[in-house]
Amino acid sequence: MYRYDEFDHAFVNERVSEFRAQVGRRLAGALSEEEFRPLRLRNGVYLQLHAYMLRIAIPYGQLSPRQLRQLAMIGRKWDRGYGHFTTRQNLQFNWVKLVDIPDVLAALAEVEMHCIQTSGNCVRNVTSDPYAAAAVDELEDPRVWCEILRQWSTLHPEFNWLPRKFKIAVSGAAEDRAATAFHDIGLRIVRGPNGENGFRVLVGGGMGRTPYVGQVIREFLPKEHLLSYVESILRVYNLLGRRDNLFKARIKILVNTLGIDKFREAVEADWEATNKAGIDLPEDEVRRIASYFAPPDLPEQPSRDEALAARREADPRFAGWYRNNVLPHRVPGYASVVISLKEPGRTPGDASSDTMDLVADLAERFGHDEIRVNYTQNLVLPHVARADIPALYDVLAEAGLGVGNNELLGDMICCPGLDYCNLANARSIPIAKEIAKKFEDPARQTEIGKLRVNMSGCINACGHHHAGNIGILGVDKKGTELYQITLGGSPKDDAAVGTIIGPGFRAEKVPDAIGTIVDTYVERRHEGESFLETWRRVGAAPFKEALYGAR
Amino acid sequence: MPSVVTANRLDDGIVVYLAPGGGWSENLADAARAEGEDEVKALEAVADAAVRDRLVISVYPMPVEVKDDGTVDPISVRERIRASHRTTLTKDWYDVPL
Ligand code: SF4
């Protein structure tokens, strides 16, 4: 795990004292709200519906037990005992007092965390594959490059006032588990013509009001040029991106207005003229950073564990959880374990301070001190010995965390919506809860199979509804919450934006509408076909008819 | 339809309502009601002074509905949620009907 050097420590601590002074001046009246607002936003402090919200950066979704325990402590001491994990792999506290935030930031700094660049028109938290350094299909650890990008983009003087916020994701595996195609820049580590690793660079993806799948700007970028190339993309965007219209300011609009070819030409010309050696990281520096990400020492173990096999035989609940939440690991005898934050009845992505403490303990007992946050709003222990899995499960199940719904219908992504968010048009959490209730039976979810259901409370799409196989978007129609359903979205390698299937539904009708869609899929699917495959084969007509036919 | 003035408290961000004496209450039932534009303006003037005094931020008037028992309810879902001050962590808590 990356450790702060003296510079990082000094810098973060300076920011804490700076913000403490700013809060002091605000409370004393030396700063008006208009003057203070951009300062607090730069430190991750939003004013939401009920209270202030503090967004804490979790770089590439990686946490140590010590950090998670500190987050638990912060939740208990300064919030209401819980936080919300987001699709940016960050954590939000919903009820912190402005007067306490300087102390919270100081507590975060103690464990090398902060809230810098979790808001504002700058490069936001770089996200990644939660199974980095564990997945069997990984070419190279993406976290090293995330960390390099993090250091480079933190307070980068040229890119601190971009036309709009900027999101980067890096994946180092064959399967895209970081939704890279829906990012301003998506980076995929791929094998190059001479067998060396480099990046396939996607640009201009994004959700929100105008969703786009990212386009390839470069099929293969030698690794050593990552920073100079990304810098050229940002420079072109910074110069040509629109600043006159908030809704047209993201890079996706620029890329799609110019066309990818023209945009590429501009970037390549800038890159050509760039002094790459002045920007790209020297090889020994890359090696130094990479050394922080050395995988834990995992002595090989027999890949078949008899006790584990017997438990799967004898305990159907355990077997069901295991089938969905235990993923293969590259080292024989190990696995990655998903801790679902989607127990039916709970707010998706919320974790209490007790849960955080428990997961920190489990990471120490069974998980080689590593925890990851998945953008799908679950936690992951990436390195667990298979022999320890039954004991781990027993602790999770006891705490209500043994829900085996990873990647199934119940594993919904859900933004805070109108229960918390100042920008929301409609509630999303209660809808997710109602859907979870309808599909509570694990056998039913297993029968349906993998299905990504994503939900947002407004067009900003924090809940990734565009990328859901089934997407749900809350809108406000003359004071009534209405829910638009999209079908056929995908966040993976076959990335696609979902299609609106028809008129929206009132809140109480949404669970049944999802039921109808699922039934239509199950009836129509060929053996082994995923929802997307069926959707692509049969098209919208049968779904429309099932939903609206009787009207 | 009467209006009340709502805001968030500066120091902790909590939702509050302007009360008849010029104080701020977390309870909508305590809110001063204004009938007509002039009364709303008068309440807003009091609220603006509270912004200058650094008591509250994000001030605005909102319409409310008077129920049969004389108490008031916000009209919009958003304001009903704000007035409820509710968290969504616990199971089965949701009592603002879908
Ligand atoms: S999608 Fe909209 S409602 Fe949901 S968190 Fe984002 S801004 Fe708020």
C-alpha distance from residue A25 to each of A22, A101, A345, A407 (Å):
5, 14, 43, 47
Q: In A, which residues are within 8 Å of B92 by CB distance?
A: 345
Q: In B, which residues are within 8 Å of A52 by CB distance?
A: 12-13
Pocket-testing residue among A423, A465, A475, ligand 1, by greatest number of atoms within 8 A of Cβ: A423
Facing A27 at nearest CB: one of B54, B75, B85:
B54
Say yes or no: CB of residue A456 within 6 Å of ligand 1.
Answer: yes
pLDDT for the residue B87: 63
Closest chain B CA to residue A45: B13
Q: Does the fold of domain A134-291 match that of domain A6-110?
A: no
Say yes or no: CB of residue A458 within 6 Å of ligand 1.
Answer: yes
Q: Do B11 and A27 touch (CB under 8 A)?
A: yes
Unique residue bearing structure tokens 């190990």: A334
The whole-angstrom distance between A164's CA and the closest CA on chain B is: 24
Q: Do A49 and B82 touch (CB under 8 A)?
A: yes
Distance A269 CA to ligand 1 centre (A): 37
CATH 3.30.413.10 fits A413-548, yes or no: yes
pLDDT for the residue A8: 86
Closest chain B CA to residue A29: B54
Domain residue extents for chain B:
3-84
Say which residues have a Cβ less than 8 Å from residue A94's Cβ, sequence separation at least 6. Answer: A48, A50, A51, A53, A79, A80, A83, A84, A416, A420, B87
Q: In A, which residues are within 8 Å of B79 by CB distance?
A: none
Model's pTM, two decimal places? 0.96
Q: Do B85 and A50 touch (CB under 8 A)?
A: yes
The rounded distance, in Å, linking the Cα atoms of A265 and A273 is 12
The rounded distance, in Å, linking the Cα atoms of A178 and A50 is 31
Ligand 1 atom nearest residue A425's Cα: 3
SS3 A335: strand
Contact (CB, 8 A) for A432 and A511: no
DSSP 8-state symbol, B31: P
Closest chain B CA to residue A429: B88
Say yes or no: CB of residue A487 within 6 Å of ligand 1.
Answer: no
Say yes or no: CB of residue A92 within 6 Å of ligand 1.
Answer: no
Say yes or no: CB of residue A415 within 6 Å of ligand 1.
Answer: yes
Q: In A, which residues are within 8 Å of B57 by CB distance?
A: 33, 47
pLDDT for the residue A7: 83
Say yes or no: CB of residue A482 within 6 Å of ligand 1.
Answer: no
Q: Do B89 and A350 touch (CB under 8 A)?
A: yes
A–B CB contacts, 8 A cutoff, strictly below:
78
Say yes or no: CB of residue A473 within 6 Å of ligand 1.
Answer: no
* CA neighbor of A494 nearest in space, from A467, A529, A528, A525: A467
Q: What is the pLDDT along chain A (551 residues), one digit of tens a residue?
A: 778 878 888 999 999 999 999 999 999 999 999 999 999 999 999 999 999 999 999 999 999 999 999 999 999 999 999 999 999 999 999 999 999 999 999 999 999 999 999 999 999 999 999 999 999 999 999 999 999 999 999 999 999 999 999 999 999 999 999 999 999 999 999 999 999 999 999 999 999 999 999 999 999 999 999 999 999 999 999 999 999 999 999 999 999 999 999 999 999 999 999 999 999 999 999 999 999 999 999 998 988 889 999 999 999 999 999 999 999 999 999 999 999 999 988 899 999 999 999 999 999 999 999 999 999 999 999 999 999 999 999 999 999 999 999 999 999 999 999 999 999 999 999 999 999 999 999 999 999 999 999 999 999 999 999 999 999 999 999 989 999 999 999 999 999 999 999 999 999 999 999 999 999 999 999 999 999 999 999 999 999 999 999 55
For residue B96, pLDDT over 60 is answered with: no
Say yes or no: CB of residue A540 within 6 Å of ligand 1.
Answer: no
Q: Do B12 and A479 touch (CB under 8 A)?
A: no
Q: Which CATH number describes the domain made up of A6-110? A: 3.90.480.20
Interface test with B, best of A427, A477, A509 (most B CBs within 10 A): A427
Facing A419 at nearest CB: one of B76, B88, B91:
B88
Token readout for A521 is 């899929």
Report pLDDT digits (tens) over B3-29: 999 999 999 999 999 999 999 999 999
For residue B89, pLDDT over 50 is answered with: no
Distance A131 CA to ligand 1 centre (A): 27
pLDDT for the residue A237: 98
Class of domain A134-291: alpha beta
Report pLDDT digits (tens) over B34-57: 999 999 999 999 999 999 999 999
Q: What one-letter code names the amino acid at A138?
A: E
Q: Do A29 and B54 touch (CB under 8 A)?
A: yes
Q: Do A429 and B57 touch (CB under 8 A)?
A: no
Say yes or no: CB of residue A417 within 6 Å of ligand 1.
Answer: yes
CA B56, B61, B62, B65 torsion: positive or negative? positive
CATH 1.20.140.10 fits A305-398, yes or no: no
Contact (CB, 8 A) for A525 and A534: yes
Q: For strand A371-373 and strand A350-352, is the pairing parallel, antiparallel, or unpaired?
A: unpaired
Contact (CB, 8 A) for A90 and A55: yes
Burial class, A536, CB count within 10 angstroms (exposed 0-12 / middle 13-18 / buried 19+): middle
Say yes or no: CB of residue A459 within 6 Å of ligand 1.
Answer: no
Closest chain A CA to residue B84: A50
Domain residue extents for chain A:
6-110, 134-291, 305-398, 413-548
The rounded distance, in Å, linking the Cα atoms of A27 and A450 is 51
Token readout for A348 is 């998706």
Ligand 1 atom nearest residue A418's Cα: 3
